Amino acid sequence: MSTVTVPLGERSYDVVVGAGARHELARLVAATVPGARLAAVVTQSAIGVEVDPGVPVVRCEVADGEGAKSLTTVEDLCRRFAEAGLSRGDVVVAVGGGVVTDLAGFAAATYHRGVAYVNVATSLLAQVDAAVGGKTGVNLPEGKNLVGAFWQPAAVVCDTDVLVTLPEREWRSGRGEMAKYAFLGHAVAEGEVPEPLELLGLALDEQVARCVAVKAAVVAADEREGGRRAVLNYGHTLAHALEAVGFEDRGGRSGGLRHGEAVAVGLVFAAELAHRLGRVDARRVEEHRQVVVAFGLPTTLPGGVEPANLVELMRRDKKAHHDLTFVLDGPRGVELVHGVGPDAVLATLEAMERTS
């Protein structure tokens, strides 16, 4: 097992990665929430991962799927906490994927104006991305993650043993985020930046730890998304647009895209757009394709999309400031780029459409 620290001063915390890491939970709770006498374990019926936080437990199940990420669910959780007598000195333990960690983290941030929580991430996507960084929140009918809080966990556990039962589509979704981190090595590099393809040669535990280390470095530099943290959205601008027009697979439909699959397409698009803008050469674009393909992910737009519609949706991206804004590769590595011309964006999408 390995430990990656998210360095945030008094709010610093450890992410424990490796086979059997969930068995470290009681030690972590005792070390980080020493006064805890009760743990509210938030999970889903389908997760099936048992944990021992070292204190008495009240189990709180939430529904499966993105639809569970609602203010109604947060209210239900907080009422369960209150009924169980959870105090400000106790702990919430999230056991699940990104939906569970988002919900439990937001409920913990608001209950008693903030109680400690620990994430036990059970999906690959949660282990490499969603469970680390302190962004919590829920959806509104008007959009995803519009209500939330920055509330850092006391610790995070990434037990790679629990990944063996993941369906293939969940693996693919997590690999999409992994592919993103392959291109963010400059965030932690001291000297020579690691090549993106290096990530593929590592064992699973090492891949997860590398991704966590990159995210930890970015979060430490920009905890509340003031600027640099935007690089964590690499590939996501197009991905969110694809999700918005109905290509998001919320229930395992074979024709839909899981989030990480959409991110993979978004990575290739971002590389092609950067090339069109003269920021990277053709070799770098090909490197993006190689990494995405090596992770078994799509590189082209799904059939039936309207490029002009995608452009309009990307104008509404949360990074935008009344313009088209993207996270793009370039001479200084991946960074936020404002004021990208719509003609270049449309041309890039149309070129990808012709190759699909």
Catalytic (active-site) positions: 113, 135, 177, 215, 225, 229, 233, 236, 240, 259
- Among residues 140, 65, 145, 144, which one has the least CA distance to residue 105? 145
At 4 the three-state DSSP class reads strand
- Six-digit token string for 7: 């360095």
Burial label for 165, CB within 10 Å (0-12, 13-18, 19+), is exposed
In angstroms, the CA 298 to CA 292 distance is 7
Q: Give the integer Cα–Cα distance in Å for 91 and 29.
A: 8
Residue 231 sits at the vertex; the CA angle it makes with 227 and 236, to the nearest 5 degrees, is 120
CA distance 49 to 25: 13
Long-range contacts of 187-196 (CB under 8 A, 24+ apart): 187/214, 187/217, 187/218, 187/221, 187/231, 187/333, 188/213, 188/214, 188/217, 193/333, 196/287, 196/288, 196/291
Whether the CA torsion 233, 243, 342, 305 is positive or negative: it is positive
CB 314 within 8 A of CB 324: yes
